[in-house]
Chain A
Amino acid sequence: MNILEISHIEKSFGNIPVLKDISLSVSDGEILSIIGPSGSGKSTLLRCATMLETLDKGEVRYQGNRAVWADNGGNVQFAPKKELKEIQRLYGLVFQNFNLFPHYSVMKNIIDAPVHVQKRKKEEAAKEARELLKKMGLEDKADAYPCQLSGGQCQRVAIARALALNPKILFFDEPTSALDPELTGEVLKVIRSLADLKIAMVIVTHEMAFARDISDKVIFMADGVIVEEGTPEQVFASGNERTQAFLGRYGDILK
């Protein structure tokens, strides 16, 4: 089944169209990478899918259920409150600049939502959090505060925080773009390790080799449209002029 289906969404800021008729789907456990030049609308697409932004046209479905859509009159509708809450439990988002809660310790950052949003037992949530931290290579950082961590460590905490809510699909918006080059590796390694969790992932990234290696499917976006979509082999070997022009900048990495 498709965990996520985006159909014909459009989004403008003022009168500048940023997303022009975007459709895509992600099946359970599938890993989709979205690449493309900056300003092409990748973040906006993720933000519309996660309802941080409200689309102008089209619809977004999770597990077949409509979360947000524009009706025939062009009015945007959301699923009823209760249903929407259920839908929101299905996805998580990892931000470029982490957005950890600075006043909470690493442990509290991870368990606070499971405990206070999902109403799970604190001990149980803490136990899971420690396992997640171990997976992230941060078992000794539970009591640290975000300001005491490096960017790479913060991003790994942010990933743990998202995973703690057991999402079925996790969005990443350039998870390594705010990091010093020597720190990107540790975060990419962690994301790779998630592949066996069977969580679907949608990853916006400029790390081409990573996208090629990890993805089931790659989308190349430019100027608010999907220029090309296919397996990594198809997209990275594409004959499409725009795709080639974009990938050319990364030529050496992909050899």
Chain B
Amino acid sequence: MGISQIQQLIGGMGVSIQIFTVTLVFSLPLGLIVAFGRMAKNPALQNLVKAYISIMRGTPLMLQLMVVYFGPFYLFGIKIGNSYRLWAVFIGFTINYAAYFAEIYRSGIQSMPAGQYEAAQILGYSKSQTFFKIILPQVIKRILPALTNEIITLVKDTSLAFTLSVMEMFTVAKALAAKGTMAPLLAAGIFYYVFNLLVAVVMEKAEKKLDYYR
């Protein structure tokens, strides 16, 4: 591999990390909001969110990315520029992952014993104090293993951005490999693996940190 190929791979790595980071930063909070919608008392809202989650989980992410990218043109005739590719990836990943995270949050929230809410109510905590001070920290501890799984999947899923020819790690490696060498694919493989090792280490640290109570 030459210098320019290595530079291209490093560039791809940067884009992959960017997709990963942007997706997490936006889908984790969005997922919480979606979870609230999913648990809403209003049946219309609840069903709407249910349908959204069902579609996000029931169709390939690859297809969703294409819909997000081509949708504005085919649905509204908006001309799409090249710069929209990466944005489409950010949006597609975020709304997809928010759906998965929402279900994880929901299972965590619903697993909390009613007594925690009741104690908080008797002590005079407001609804938002109860949620953010009492419930959410305990929910996070409970859902950490499930979150870890999902985040590891996200690392690998970033390669799906090749669908929209975004120059992330996998797209770059595939293009370089087409010129007759395995090395770029091997480099990509190592990258994803090491990235996930790192995720696993960080998440394990987080779990350890919350180990101080049961």
Q: What residues make up the interface of A, taking CB atoms closer than 8 Å to B?
A: 50-52, 85, 88-89, 91-93, 95, 97, 99-103, 112-113, 116-118, 145-147, 161-162, 165
B156 within 8 A of A: no
Instruction: Assess the B138–A103 pair: CB atoms within 8 A.
Output: yes
Q: A145-B212, A161-B123 are in contact. Are A103 and B137 (CB under 8 A)?
A: yes
Instruction: Assess the A145–B122 pair: CB atoms within 8 A.
Output: no
Instruction: Assess the B115–A101 pair: CB atoms within 8 A.
Output: no
Select one of B124, B129, B133 contacting A88, CB under 8 A. B124
Q: What residues make up the interface of B, taking CB atoms closer than 8 Å to A?
A: 113, 115-116, 118-119, 121-125, 129, 133-134, 137-138, 141, 212-214
- What are the nearest 6 A-B pairs in CB distance? A99-B119, A99-B115, A113-B123, A117-B124, A147-B214, A93-B122
Chain A nearest Cβ from B27, distance in angstroms: 25
Select one of A51, A88, A92, A97 contacting B115, CB under 8 A. A97
Chain A residue nearest in CB terms to B212: A145
- The main secondary structure of chain A at its interface with chain B is loop
Q: Which of B113, B115, B123: most chain A CB closer than 10 A?
A: B123
Instruction: Assess the B213–A102 pair: CB atoms within 8 A.
Output: yes
Instruction: Write out the residue numbers on chain A whose beta carbons fall within 8 Å of the beta carbon of B116.
Output: 99, 101
Instruction: Assess the B129–A117 pair: CB atoms within 8 A.
Output: yes
Chain A residue nearest in CB terms to B210: A103
Instruction: Assess the B123–A146 pair: CB atoms within 8 A.
Output: no
In whole angstroms, how far apart are the Cα atoms of A117 and B129 in the complex? Answer: 9
Instruction: Assess the A103–B124 pair: CB atoms within 8 A.
Output: no
Instruction: Assess the B141–A103 pair: CB atoms within 8 A.
Output: yes
Instruction: Write out the residue numbers on chain A whose beta carbons fall within 8 Å of the beta carbon of B115.
Output: 95, 97, 99
Instruction: Assess the B124–A89 pair: CB atoms within 8 A.
Output: yes
Instruction: Assess the B212–A116 pair: CB atoms within 8 A.
Output: no
**A88-B124, A92-B123 are known contacts; what are 5 more A-B pairs with Cβ within 8 Å?**
A52-B118, A99-B115, A101-B116, A112-B133, A116-B133
Instruction: Write out the residue numbers on chain A whose beta carbons fall within 8 Å of the beta carbon of B124.
Output: 85, 88-89, 113, 117-118, 165
In whole angstroms, how far apart are the Cα atoms of A116 and B134 in the complex? Answer: 12
Instruction: Assess the A116–B129 pair: CB atoms within 8 A.
Output: yes
In whole angstroms, how far apart are the Cα atoms of A162 and B124 in the complex? Answer: 11
Instruction: Assess the B122–A52 pair: CB atoms within 8 A.
Output: yes
Instruction: Write out the residue numbers on chain A whose beta carbons fall within 8 Å of the beta carbon of B125.
Output: 113, 116-117
Instruction: Write out the residue numbers on chain B whose beta carbons fall within 8 Å of the beta carbon of A97.
Output: 115
Instruction: Assess the A50–B214 pair: CB atoms within 8 A.
Output: no
Total CB contacts across the A-B interface at under 8 A? 54
Chain A nearest Cβ from B207, distance in angstroms: 14
Instruction: Assess the B214–A102 pair: CB atoms within 8 A.
Output: yes
Chain B residue nearest in CB terms to A89: B124
Instruction: Assess the A101–B119 pair: CB atoms within 8 A.
Output: yes
Select one of B118, B134, B137 contacting A95, CB under 8 A. B118
Q: Which of A92, A103, A118: most chain B CB closer than 10 A?
A: A103
Chain A nearest Cβ from B124, distance in angstroms: 4
Chain B residue nearest in CB terms to A146: B213
Chain A nearest Cβ from B175, distance in angstroms: 49
Chain A residue nearest in CB terms to B119: A99
In whole angstroms, how far apart are the Cα atoms of A91 and B121 in the complex? Answer: 12
Instruction: Write out the residue numbers on chain B whose beta carbons fall within 8 Å of the beta carbon of A103.
Output: 137-138, 141, 213
Instruction: Write out the residue numbers on chain A whose beta carbons fall within 8 Å of the beta carbon of B123.
Output: 92, 113, 117, 161, 165
Chain A residue nearest in CB terms to B140: A103
Chain A residue nearest in CB terms to B124: A117
- 7 CB contacts below 8 A, A to B, read A52-B118, A97-B115, A99-B118, A101-B116, A102-B214, A103-B137, A103-B213
Chain B residue nearest in CB terms to A93: B122
Instruction: Assess the A101–B122 pair: CB atoms within 8 A.
Output: no
In whole angstroms, how far apart are the Cα atoms of A116 and B116 in the complex? Answer: 17
In whole angstroms, how far apart are the Cα atoms of A214 and B123 in the complex? Answer: 26
Q: A116-B129, A117-B129 are in contact. Are A52 and B121 (CB under 8 A)?
A: yes
Chain A residue nearest in CB terms to B115: A99
Instruction: Write out the residue numbers on chain A whose beta carbons fall within 8 Å of the beta carbon of B212.
Output: 145
Instruction: Assess the B122–A92 pair: CB atoms within 8 A.
Output: yes
Instruction: Assess the A50–B213 pair: CB atoms within 8 A.
Output: no
